[in-house]
Chain A
Amino acid sequence: MSKLEIKDLRVSVDTEDGAKEILKGVTLTIGDGETHAIMGPNGSGKSTLAYSIAGHPKYTITGGTVTLDGDDLLSMTVDERARAGLFLAMQYPVEVPGVSVANFLRTAKTAIDGEAPKLRTWVKEVNGAMEKMNLDPTFSQRSVNEGFSGGEKKRHEMAQLALLDPKVAVLDETDSGLDIDALKIVSEGINTFRERENKGVLLITHYTRILRYVKPDRVHVFVDGRVAESGGPELAEELEANGYDRFVRASV
């Protein structure tokens, strides 16, 4: 099972002028084994959706529910959500100086499984995941995200996705800033994850090009803090041809 249900989600952030509502009632269901793409112009609230689901302290939930297989995610801490099966691939993965990738991955895997991974198989798994993402084996000894190129950061996120094996992956603009080769590698990582049983993917993107490599089951156009229109993959094609203008004008 991997059903992510978002119902009438409302989220605000604190600004100098008081609370500002960013998400104005988002409703979405990602069924078992489905991949949904969320597309929208800058500032539409796509990333807010991703971070709110993951529990970033900057965002205040003012209404609605988010459940994973029926469990209330919003009542959980950030790490409890991850242990419940949620994974957020970040647009700007954070540097953690002095903490090696190897130590980080083992600590995360131990936390998520509730027990330390078996050393021998784990090393193989890590090396395999790194190789698939075209990351050098010495990568494990580097500090988390420190000095990584933009592409390395994203491929490192995808290696984590493979190793931590969540139920649902929320990918926040994982495709942004990648050249075509890196985009293909990252897409392959997403597709390999999708091939596993019962995995849900929420793919948040500004551009349609990743959808050439990762075929979504559903596409949602996100404008001004809510879903403006939903459809099949053909909706992405329309966006590719015509851009967001029609949706942005409709929402004004």
Chain B
Amino acid sequence: MTVLDSVKDSLEMGPSGDRIESHLHPEGSFDVEDHAVPTGREEIWRFTPLRRLKGLHSDAPLDGDAFKVELDLPEGVTGASVPVSDSQRGASGLVPTDRVSARVWEAATSVLELTVPDDYVGDRAATVRVVGTGVDVASAGHLLVRAGKHSRSTVVVDYSGSATWAENLEIVVEDGAELTFVAVHGWADDAVHVVNQHASVGRDATLKHVAVTFGGDVVRSDTSVEYAGPGGSAELLGLYFADEGQHIEHRLFVDHTAPKTKSHVVYKGALQGEGAHTVWIGNVLIRKVAEGIETYEENRNLVLTDGCQADSVPNLEIETGEIEGAGHASATGRFDDEQLFYLRSRGVSETEARRLVVHGFFNDLIRKIDVPELEAKLTETVEAELSKNMSVLTGATENGVPTA
């Protein structure tokens, strides 16, 4: 069930020269007309239920205002809505690679710029709350987070409420900075959210990027990372929980554009209920220039009931053999009957045993996320998701053994 590849020894060298002929690296364009309306047959759209996107991918107007944005910033960190013409949008190197992103680029009139000054060091997270107030009109947003040189900070973007929301999100981690960026998708059941995130990691800078996704009808989050200099490090962590009918899709692309850079990806998800669908795409490209890099990506899914689908696709393309290490792992499994038996043989009820196993599944990830303000909330979120469907869970017992 587990696939673990160490690909260093079995490299297929790409063509020489600077041009990247990689299917992992589509040519972007700011022009909407360069991106045809997807049909669902395209590689990048084949998992997404287009019919439920409320036209975000085609031509629904993106001028709605059914949302509020609230800022809660520690002293020193600034946040301001800046007209597009005066903004620094594009600073991360974002070039739309799909139609939704290009449409947001075209529709946006302002950019919310969140700036952490150079040398800033803060423990309290800067929080941006996006609260949706209705799904009937589609809205677009552009957020630019900039962590100044040698700063250390945490930024949380917290999504809630009902919205049809298309978004471009840029993250710039300047040289020597350390940024923890967390997106919490706690949307209401009817929300649709398509977000394209692009991060630029500076020389010797560190980005910890966290996606927590448990709300919404459809959430499609595309995150790409490139390196603006050598020595940068990106850790991409994800925790998701899909319920009945929910579609949660995380697409990741780490583009090793500089030598001595690191990437480490761990995404873990649980699925429960009829029609729960998760998609994880983990793309990593190691360019010819990117010697001495290290990359590892991992996706694990825990399927709690019948009727769920977890798609997991790791891709790795390597254009230089001079690397420290590269690997990936993907596993999707059901509740382990032996684990449940072991716990129950110690007196623990079936419901409690299942709860323990799921918490255990997510625990090491929550520890890695390591944002004190979030830790309790994440554990509670897992708990709430579990209790929501505990009746579903206990209904799905094995071999007719009576349930507690």
Q: How distant is the Cα of A90 from the Cα of B341 in the complex, in angstroms?
A: 11
A54, A88, A90, A111: which contacts B349 (Cβ < 8 A)?
A: A111
**A94 with B344: CB separation less than 8 A:** no
Q: Do A96 and B363 form a contact, CB below 8 Å, given A111-B347, A111-B352?
A: no
Asked if A98 and B344 sit within 8 Å, CB to CB, the answer is no
Q: Smallest Cβ distance from A21 to chain B, in angstroms?
A: 18
Q: A80-B404, A160-B346 are in contact. Are A94 and B352 (CB under 8 A)?
A: no
Contact present for A164 and B364 (CB under 8 Å): no
Q: Which residues of A contact B362 (CB under 8 A)?
A: 98
Task: Write the B340-366 contact mask toward A (1 if CB under 8 angstroms, else 0).
Answer: 011111111110110011011111100
Residues of B within 8 A of A98 (CB): 359-364
**Which listed segment binds A: B102-110, B165-173, B234-242, B394-402?**
B394-402
Q: Is the CB of B357 within 8 A of A57?
A: no
- Residues in A neighbouring B348, C-beta threshold 8 A: 79, 82, 107-108, 111
A139 at the interface (CB under 8 A from B): no
Any B CB within 8 A of the CB of A77: yes
Closest chain B CB from A242 CB (angstroms)? 35
A157 CB, nearest partner CB in chain B, Å:
10
Interface size on B, residues (CB 8 A): 30
Give bound CA distance, A210 to B338, whole Å.
27
Which residue in chain B gives the minimum CB-CB distance to A60? B399
User: Considering residues B338, B352, B403, which has the most beta carbons from chain A within 10 angstroms of its beta carbon?
Assistant: B338
Task: Tell whether, in the assembled complex, residue A94 and residue B338 are in contact, meaning their CB atoms are under 8 Å apart.
Answer: yes
Q: Is A22 an interface residue when CB atoms closer than 8 A count as contact?
A: no
Interface membership of B339, Cβ < 8 A: yes
Give A3-37 as 1s and 0s: 1 = Cβ < 8 Å from B's Cβ atoms.
Answer: 00000000000000000000000000000000000
* Cα–Cα, bound, A79→B346 (Å): 7
Q: In whole angstroms, what is the CA distance A132 to B176 when docked?
A: 50
Is the C-beta of A93 less than 8 angstroms from some C-beta in chain B? Answer: yes
**What B residues does A111 contact at CB under 8 A?**
346-349, 352
Residues on B with C-beta less than 8 A from A99 are 356-357, 359-360, 363
The answer to whether B339 touches A56, judged by C-beta atoms less than 8 angstroms apart, is no
Residues of A within 8 A of B403 (CB): 77
Q: Are B347 and A94 in contact (CB under 8 A)?
A: no
Q: Mark A72-90, 1 if CB is under 8 A from B, else 0.
A: 0000011111110001101
Dominant SS at the B interface? helix
**In the assembled complex, how far is the CB of residue A109 from the closest CB belonging to chain B, in whole angstroms?**
8
B337 CB–A CB distance under 8 Å: yes
Which of chain A's residues have a CB closer than 8 A to the CB of B344? 77-79, 82
Check: A247 CB closer than 8 A to any chain B CB: no
Contacts of B337 in A (CB 8 A): 57
Nearest CB of chain A from residue B160's CB, rounded to whole Å: 27
Which of A54, A80, A94: most chain B CB closer than 10 A? A94
Residues of A within 8 A of B347 (CB): 79, 82-83, 108, 111-112, 164
From B336, B350, B356, B363, contact of A79 by CB (8 A): B350
Chain B residues contacting A81 (CB-CB under 8 Å) are: 345
Most chain B CB within a 10 A radius of its CB, from A78, A96, A104, A108: A78
Chain A residue contacts of B343, Cβ below 8 A: 96, 104, 108
Chain A residue at minimum C-beta to C-beta distance from B355: A107
Contacts of A95 in B (CB 8 A): 339
Give per-residue flags for B381-399: 1 if the beta carbon is below 8 A from chain A beta carbons, else 0: 0000000000000000011
A65 at the interface (CB under 8 A from B): no
Residue of B nearest to A111 (CB): B347
Query: Closest CB-CB distance, B210 to chain A, in whole Å?
Result: 18
The answer, among B341, B349, B353, B361, for a CB contact under 8 Å with A56, is: B341
Please state if B342 and A94 are interface contacts (CB–CB under 8 Å). Answer: yes
Tell me, yes or no, whether A225 is within 8 Å of chain B by CB. no
Q: How far is the CA of A94 from the CA of B356 in the complex (A)?
A: 14
**B341 to A96, Cβ gap below 8 A?**
no
| Residues in A whose Cβ lies below 8 Å from that of B353 | 79
Query: With the chains together, A80 CA to B403 CA distance in Å?
Result: 10
Contact with B along A56-67 (1 / 0, CB 8 A): 111000000000
Closest Cβ neighbor of A160 among chain B residues: B346
CA distance A107 to B345 in the complex (A): 12
- A79 to B, closest residue via Cβ: B344
B106–chain A nearest beta-carbon distance, Å = 45
Give the shortest distance, in Å, between A78 (CB) and chain B (any CB): 4
What distance in Å separates the Cβ of A116 from its nearest Cβ neighbour in chain B? 13
Chain B CB within 10 A, most for which of A94, A98, A103: A98
Expressed in whole angstroms, the Cα–Cα distance for A78 and B402 within the complex equals 9
Q: Could you say which of A93, A97, A112 contacts B360, with CB atoms under 8 Å apart?
A: A97
* Cα distance A58–B336 in the bound complex, in angstroms: 13
Whether B339 pairs with A96 at a CB distance below 8 angstroms is: yes
Task: Report the Cα distance A55→B342, complex, angstroms.
Answer: 11
Write the nearest CB–CB distance from B73 to chain A, whole angstroms.
34
CA of A9 to CA of B398 in the docked complex: distance in angstroms? 23
Question: What B residues does A58 contact at CB under 8 A?
Answer: 399
Which residues of A sit under 8 angstroms from B346, Cβ to Cβ? 79, 82, 104, 108, 111-112, 160, 164
Q: Is the CB of B360 within 8 A of A96?
A: yes
CB of B356, distance to nearest CB on chain A (Å):
5
Within 8 Å CB of B363, what residues of A?
Answer: 98-99
With A82-B347, A99-B359 in contact, is A93–B342 under 8 Å at CB?
A: yes
> B361 to chain A: which residues have CB within 8 Å?
97-98
Task: Provide the bound-state CA to CA distance between A93 and B353, in Å.
Answer: 16
Top 5 A-B pairs ranked by shortest CB distance? Answer: A98-B360, A98-B363, A82-B347, A108-B346, A94-B342
14 A-B residue pairs with CB within 8 Å? A57-B401, A77-B350, A78-B344, A79-B344, A90-B342, A94-B342, A96-B342, A96-B360, A97-B361, A99-B359, A99-B360, A108-B348, A111-B347, A111-B352
> Apart from A79-B347, A94-B342, A143-B360, what 7 extra A-B contacts exist at CB < 8 Å?
A58-B399, A88-B345, A93-B342, A98-B362, A108-B346, A108-B347, A112-B347
